[in-house]
Amino acid sequence: MVYKILTVAGLATFEIYAAIPAGFAFKLSPWVIFFASLIGGLVGVYVAAFLGDKIRAFFHRNKPVKEEKPKTGIIYRIWDKYGVIGLGYLGTMTVGAPVSIAVGVGFKVPLNRLITWCCLGVLTRCALFTIIGYFGLKLF
C-alpha cells in the first residue's frame, strides 16, 4: 500500500493527469489519492521553482547574449492580459505546474507570487480531478 501511495505522489510530481487515474487503478481511497497527489504536486512546484533558476543558469552560462526579440505572439498576449494569476493558476490547471514555473522563470516573474498561485492551482486541480474520477467510477 505504501508503494502505491508513493507511486501516486511521484507521478503527481510531474503530472497530476497521470497520478489520479493511477490511484484509482490501484484501488486507493479517494482521500488517499487526493492527499498523495496534492503532496506530489506541491513537491513538483517547489522542485521546479528552486531548481529551475539553477538549470536555466547552467544552460545559459556559455551562450552569447542575443538581441531582445519583439514581444509578440499568443504567450505574450496572455501574459499581458492575465499576469501572474493567469500564469500560475490557469497555467497549472491546463499544462501543469512545472511548465508554468518554467515559463514564469523565463518571463522573470516574482517567484513568491508565482509559487503561491501554482500551489492554489495544484490544490484545485487535485480536488477537481479526484472528484471527477470518483463520481465517474460510480457511474460504472
Instruction: With a cut of 80, say whether residue 120 has pLDDT above it.
Output: yes
Q: Which three cell numbers stand for residue 5?
A: 501511495
68-117, pLDDT tens digit by residue?
555 666 667 777 888 888 888 988 888 888 888 888 888 888 889 999 99
3-58, pLDDT tens digit by residue?
999 999 999 998 888 999 999 999 999 999 999 999 999 999 999 888 877 776 77
- Alpha-carbon span 48 to 41, nearest angstrom: 11
Q: Which helix (H) or strand (E) holds 18?
A: helix 16-25
**Mean predicted lDDT score pLDDT of the chain:** 86
Are 49 and 111 in contact by the 8 Å Cβ rule? The answer is: yes
pLDDT of 71 = 64
Eight-class DSSP state of 29 = -
Q: Which amino acid is at 115?
A: I
pTM, two decimal places: 0.83
Supply the DSSP string of 100-121, one letter for each residue. Answer: HHHHHHHTT--HHHHHHHHHHH
